[in-house]
Amino acid sequence: MGPRLGVVGVGTFGVNHLRTFRQLEQAGQAALVAAADLDDCRRADAQEQFGIAVYGDHREMLERERLDAVSVVTPDFAHREIALDALAAGCHVLVEKPLDVTVEGCEAIAAEAERRGLMLQVDFHKRYDPYHLELHRLVRAGRLGQPLYGYAHMEDRIEVPRDWFPNWAPQSSPAWFLGVHFYDLVRWVLGSDARSVFARGQKRKLVGLGVDTNADLMPDGGK
């Protein structure tokens, strides 16, 4: 049947993981076994829709289920503890971007995975958008010459922090929630890491709407 999979976080995007793993199960490549979430309603919905055990605490799931791999689909500030617990339980781990909201947290997770000989991957799914795949192909084939820099611009809709995630948006930022995709895309397309990074931000619009995020606007750059 393949590896036994669990999902931590079955909210807006976690359900996509459940659906994907169920498709893998139907193809005979994996088994969707369990999930965990703090919210009673989301747990009930996931249990009804997918017919799996859904726990209120990821640690109980790890203790009671024999899992081979876990995907972490929680708010970004909660990734570190869950990823470390899953690795400690001997599970390979897939984490939604960003891996953690601190360098120290990223290093701790990566070090634990290496120490235990387990696979660790961050889900930078924007790499699989058709136009990004084509850009990657053209750059790597030399069709666009030698790129000197990368630039991306994106504006999210107000309802995302205001209506979708008002409870955890104050503990996140545009850089972690959206920007990280494009930092990764520039690195991936160019095949190069940044040597320096700078950022600017402001608090104005969302604060006026009662959502105090780390910043309304955080354009980042590097060279």
Q: What is the mean pLDDT of residues 192-213?
A: 76
Contacts of 109 (CB under 8 A, 6+ apart): 79, 80, 83, 84, 87, 93, 95, 99, 100, 120
Say yes or no to pLDDT of 196 above 90.
no
User: Lowest mean pLDDT: which of 18-22, 179-183, 204-208?
Assistant: 204-208
**pLDDT number for residue 218:** 43
Strand, coil or helix: 186: helix
**Omega within 30 of 0 (cis) for the link into 75:** no
Say yes or no to pLDDT of 176 above 60.
yes
The residue ranges of every structural domain in the chain are 4-123, 126-222
CA 46 remoteness from chain centre: 19
The residue among 197 and 126 whose pLDDT is bigger is: 126
Say yes or no to pLDDT of 44 above 70.
yes
Q: Count of alpha carbons within 13 Å of 192, Cβ hemisphere only?
A: 14
User: Lowest mean pLDDT: which of 60-64, 70-74, 107-111, 213-217?
Assistant: 213-217
Going across the sheet that includes 92-96, the strands are: 53-55, 31-36, 4-8, 69-72, 92-96, 120-123
What is the average pLDDT value for the chain, to the nearest integer? 89
DSSP of 134-172, one letter per residue? HHHHHHHTTTT-------------THIIIIISTTTGGG-
| Angle formed at CA 189 by CA 184 and CA 192, multiple of 5 degrees | 75
Q: What is the mean pLDDT of residues 194-203?
A: 76
Q: What is the mean pLDDT of residues 73-81?
A: 94
Say yes or no to pLDDT of 222 above 50.
no
Say yes or no to pLDDT of 172 above 60.
yes
The top-level CATH class assigned to 4-123 is alpha beta
pTM recorded for the entire structure:
0.85
Instruction: Name the residue with tokens 């909201």.
Output: 101
pLDDT category of residue 5 using cuts at 50, 70 and 90: very high
pLDDT digits (tens, 9 = 90+) for 91-108: 999 999 999 989 999 999
Q: What is the mean pLDDT of residues 64-72?
A: 97
Say yes or no to pLDDT of 160 above 70.
yes
For CA atoms 106, 108, 111, 112, the dihedral sign is negative
Nearest Cα neighbor of 65 from 88, 87, 89 is 89
